[in-house]
Each structure stands twice: as C-alpha cells, then as structure tokens.
C-alpha cells in the first residue's frame, strides 16, 4: 500500500513572482527599445521599426485581456517569453528583420500583458511606477553597455537583448511552471470537455486569503474542472486512486502541491486533515471532496460527507466555504459508470461540463459544535448549488434523530 507523503505548504508567492517578472519585462522593454529604435542599422532602416515596435508591444499587451481567467492567463507569460527567446536566437544567427522585430515584441508584449492582467495595475498603483522604473533601468543598462564596449551596436545590442530574453524566459518558466502545466492540461482536454461556470461564487471569491471549496465527486478530473474556473491557485485534496497513477505522483506533489487522501473508510489518523489546515494557515484555496471517494452508482448522487471537512473547519471556524456542484461528469470516461474509470466507456469528445458555485460563506458557529450537524449542513449547501444550473430539486438531507452513521442514498 502506498503511504502518504506530507505535502509542504508554503504561502502563495504568485503576487511576488508576478511583480519580479514585471520588473524584468520592463528591463527587456528598455533594452529592446534601444536595440530596435536606436541601435540596429542606419536611420533609414530604423524608422520603419518605430511603428512596428510600439504597435507589436501594444497589441501584445491587449491580447491577454481577452482571456476569461485572470489567474490562468499567467500561463501565457512563460510560453510567450520562451517563444520570444526562440525568435531572438534565430535573429541572432541571421538578422533582425522587421518580421523578427514584430514577433519578438508581440510575444514579449503578451507575456507582460498577462502579468498586468493578473495584477490589475490600474488598481495596484505602485506597479505602474515599478514598470516605469524598470524601463528606465533597461535603457540605462543598454547605454552603459554601449559606452563601456567597443560601441559596435550591430553586435552588442542583439547580444544583450538575447541574454536578457534568456534570463527572463528562465525566470518565467521557473516561477510559473504550475500555471503553465495547468493551462497545457486544460487545453489538452479541451477536445473532451467544455467547462462552463455558473452562479455567484466564482466572481465573488477573494484572490487572497484562506478559503475552502467543497463539491461532489464523480470523476478523476473534478479538481481540474474547478481549477479551470477558480481565478486563483488551488490546493486540491485528491483520492489516492488517481494521485498514485504512474507518472502523476511527482507532478501532483512537486508542481501542484496536491494533498493525497487514502481511500480508506475508517482510520485513526488523517494526516491529510493537518495538511489542509496548514494550507489554510498559509492563506491558500483548498479544494476538498468531502465524500472521500468517487461516486459509484446511478441512484446515489451524493454520499454522506466524512468527518474530515468538519475537523478542518473546527480548527479554522472563520474560513469561508464555497459550495459547488459539478454536473455532467457521471458517465464520462474517467468516472465509475459501468465499471472503473477508463473501462467499458467511450472516450469523451467535447462533452459539456457545467459547474455551479454559491457565494462563499462561513459556517455558523452553532453548527460547528457537532460533527454530524456540520456534515449535513454542508451536504445541503452542495445540493443547493444545483439550483444555479436549473437542475430539479432533490430532498434535503435531514439530521437523524440519533447519531446514525448509516448512509442513505440521495436520489435525483
């Protein structure tokens, strides 16, 4: 039996990484301005580059505004920074034509625009000053290099630009690897699933601070469906049946910081609960499926929640809880419909997946005094989230007269 590996929980540093990369892109903008507008070729060759330079940067800055997820848009930063590096490498070996200049500036503009979209610089005013200072520093750096070398701008400017692009691409990939992988997986499965969000929860969820997201669980990719719509990094709690798949364990641990949940009905200790509490202490968004394992039958859409969610909230009673319902996953290739996931089912192709989310709210203190009352309360909250999808109502779960742990089926 595979044992659980404690997940290291650190505060989310996405804002910090974004600000550092913002400064780096400002430097690259300053260097590229000196290279393309004032350093490469004759005056006759430089003048046509002026509208190309500013136009490509401007278009690149605007494109990320079209993407709906303000967190996942950060994935364009490492991808586009790497693409700009490839353009710079090819141009370094050949020549900086107007096409190369346009492509380089467009890719760098998209990479910078993704950060500006995420950080919302119109609200975070000091970032505008940081960006302006970085641009000035880039210009100054280029001037210093030019004055302290043999002043061969045809050689020095492209070389400096290539080095700056390489450092920037490496920093972007290292700091934003997780969101880049998430976007890749999301687009990879885009041919299988069309995920759409409903309800007020996704729009009202805070970008910072601890929050607990709970939902029903019917397929392996439920955490991905939620992460696609939640506009901040998530720390999912994932069942061992999927977590332990070959090649996924290291990815889940080192990249996604996922908390592994053994599929065992009764245990004396639950280390994953302590890990979830530690993640909330670090101000993270923890995603938990309180049923404890995947849906197994047609006639039971939701099992009684385990005590883990109550244990978490008992330790962190002021944590907002966002209740979600994932519709359309039962019967998919990665569900237990007619057998284990990937067995006895056709591969999914462009299936609609609808996810609803109620506004986050704190569980009443009186409810948290009793574990069963808390679990029933949260089950009804998850079932209530179905209303945002226009689904038919199901009977509410009632608190039994005595602490009967026997699970009764909840049917549609």
Average pLDDT (128-146) is 65
Query: CA separation (Å) from 173 to 95, 209, 321?
Result: 27, 25, 32
Q: Is residue 6 part of a domain?
A: no
**From its phi and psi, is residue 95 left (phi > 0), alpha (psi between -120 and 50) or beta?**
beta
Q: What is the mean pLDDT of the chain?
A: 84
Q: Which residue, of 150, 179, 208, is where some domain finishes? A: 179
Strands in 259-261's sheet, in edge-to-edge order, are 193-198, 351-357, 321-327, 211-215, 285-288, 234-239, 259-261
For residues 162 and 201, membership in a common domain is answered with: no
For residues 267 and 302, membership in a common domain is answered with: yes
Task: Give the residue numbers spanning the domain of 327.
Answer: 192-389
pLDDT, tens digit (0-9, with 9 covering 90-100), for 235-283: 998 777 778 877 778 778 777 788 888 766 555 567 889 999 999 999 9
Examine the pLDDT at 206 and tell me if it is beyond 70: yes
Q: Is residue 395 part of a domain?
A: no
pLDDT at res. 246: 79
CATH number at residue 54: 1.20.1250.20
Q: Is residue 2 part of a domain?
A: no
Q: Is residue 7 part of a domain?
A: no
Q: Is residue 83 part of a domain?
A: yes
For residues 85 and 196, membership in a common domain is answered with: no
pLDDT band at 39 (very low <50, low <70, confident <90, very high): low
Q: Is residue 216 part of a domain?
A: yes
Query: CA separation (Å) from 90 to 42, 80, 97, 155, 209?
Result: 21, 15, 11, 14, 44
Please state, as a whole number, how many other Cβ atoms lie within 10 Å of the Cβ of residue 236.
22
pLDDT at res. 29: 81
- Number of domains present in the structure of the chain: 2
Comparison of pLDDT for 5 and 278, the residue scoring more? 278
Q: Is residue 336 part of a domain?
A: yes
For residues 257 and 311, membership in a common domain is answered with: yes
For residues 382 and 252, membership in a common domain is answered with: yes
Dihedral sign computed on CA atoms, order 296, 302, 303, 307: positive
For residues 229 and 115, membership in a common domain is answered with: no
Pairwise CA distance, residues 371 & 373, whole Å: 6
Comparison of pLDDT for 406 and 333, the residue scoring more? 333
For residues 277 and 331, membership in a common domain is answered with: yes
Q: Which residue, of 179, 213, 247, is where some domain finishes? A: 179
The 3-state secondary structure of the chain, one letter per residue: CCCCCCCCCCCCCHHHHHHHHHHHHHHHHHHHHHHHHHCCCCHHHHCCHHHHHHHHHHHHHHHHHHCCCCCHHHHHHHHHHHHHHHHHHHHHHCCCCHHHHHHHHHHHHHHHHHHHHHHCCCCCCHHHHHHHHHHHHHHHHHHHHHHHCCCCHHHHHHHHHHHHHHHHHHHHHHHCHHHHHHHHHHHHHHHCEEEEEECCHHHHCCCCCCEEEEECCCECCHHHHHHHHCCCCEEEEEEHHHHCCCCCHHHHHHHCCCEEECCCCCCCCCHHHHHHHHHHHCCCEEEECCCCCCCCCCCCCCCCCCCHHHHHHHHCCCCCEEEEEEECCCCCCCECCCCCCCCCCCCCCCEEEEEEECCCECCCHHHHCCHHHHHHHHHHHHHHHHHHHCCCCCCCCCCCCCCCCCCCCCCC
For residues 347 and 325, membership in a common domain is answered with: yes
For residues 123 and 97, membership in a common domain is answered with: yes
For residues 155 and 259, membership in a common domain is answered with: no
The values of phi and psi at residue 404, to 5°, are -90, 115
CB 29 within 8 A of CB 56: no
For residues 87 and 203, membership in a common domain is answered with: no
pLDDT, tens digit (0-9, with 9 covering 90-100), for 49-92: 788 888 999 999 999 999 988 899 999 999 999 999 999 999 88
For residues 174 and 310, membership in a common domain is answered with: no
Average pLDDT (196-204) is 95
Q: Which residue, of 179, 206, 226, is where some domain finishes? A: 179
Q: Work out the angle at residue 10's Cα, subtended by the Cα atoms of residues 272 and 281, and round it to the nearest 5 degrees.
A: 65
Q: Is residue 8 part of a domain?
A: no
Comparison of pLDDT for 137 and 382, the residue scoring more? 382
Angle between helices 14-38 and 98-119 (to 10 degrees): 150
Please state, as a whole number, how many other Cβ atoms lie within 10 Å of the Cβ of residue 277.
20
Examine the pLDDT at 386 and tell me if it is beyond 90: yes
């Amino acid at each position: 039996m595979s044992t659980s590996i404690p997940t290291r929980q650190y505060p989310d540093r996405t804002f910090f990484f974004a600000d550092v990369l913002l400064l780096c892109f400002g430097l690259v903008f300053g260097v590229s301005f000196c290279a393309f507008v004032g350093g490469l070729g004759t005056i006759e060759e430089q003048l046509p580059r002026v509208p190309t330079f500013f136009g490509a940067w401007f278009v690149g800055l605007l494109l990320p505004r079209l993407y709906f997820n303000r967190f996942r848009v950060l994935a364009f930063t490492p991808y586009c920074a790497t693409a700009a590096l490839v353009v710079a490498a090819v141009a370094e070996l050949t020549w900086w034509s107007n096409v190369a200049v346009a492509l380089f500036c467009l890719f760098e503009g998209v990479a910078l625009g993704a950060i500006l979209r995420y950080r919302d610089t119109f609200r975070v005013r000091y970032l505008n000053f940081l960006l302006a200072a970085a641009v000035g520093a880039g210009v100054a750096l280029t001037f210093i290099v030019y004055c302290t070398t043999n002043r061969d701008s045809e050689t020095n400017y492209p070389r400096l630009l290539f080095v700056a692009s390489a450092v920037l691409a490496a920093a972007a990939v290292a700091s934003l690897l997780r969101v880049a992988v998430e976007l890749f997986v999301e687009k990879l499965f885009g041919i299988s699933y069309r995920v759409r969000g409903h309800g007020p929860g996704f729009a009202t969820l805070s970008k910072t601070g601890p929050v607990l997201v709970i939902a029903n669980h019917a397929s392996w990719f439920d955490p991905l469906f939620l992460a696609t719509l939640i506009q901040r990094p998530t720390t999912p709690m994932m069942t061992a049946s999927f977590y332990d798949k070959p090649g996924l364990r290291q990815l889940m641990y080192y990249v996604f910081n996922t908390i592994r949940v053994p599929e065992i009905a009764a245990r004396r200790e639950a280390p994953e609960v302590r890990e979830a509490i530690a993640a909330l202490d670090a101000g993270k968004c923890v995603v938990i499926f309180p049923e404890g394992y995947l849906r197994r039958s047609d006639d039971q859409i939701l099992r009684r929640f385990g005590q883990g969610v109550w244990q978490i909230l008992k330790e962190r009673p002021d944590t907002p809880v966002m209740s979600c319902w994932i519709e359309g996953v039962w019967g998919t290739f990665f569900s237990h419909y007619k057998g284990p996931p990937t067995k006895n089912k056709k591969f999914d192709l462009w299936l609609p997946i609808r996810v609803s989310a109620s506004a986050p709210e704190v569980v009443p203190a009186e409810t948290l005094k009793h574990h069963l009352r808390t679990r029933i309360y949260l089950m009804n909250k998850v079932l209530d989230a179905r209303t945002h999808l226009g689904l038919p109502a199901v009977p509410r779960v009632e608190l039994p007269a005595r602490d009967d742990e026997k699970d009764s089926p909840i049917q549609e």
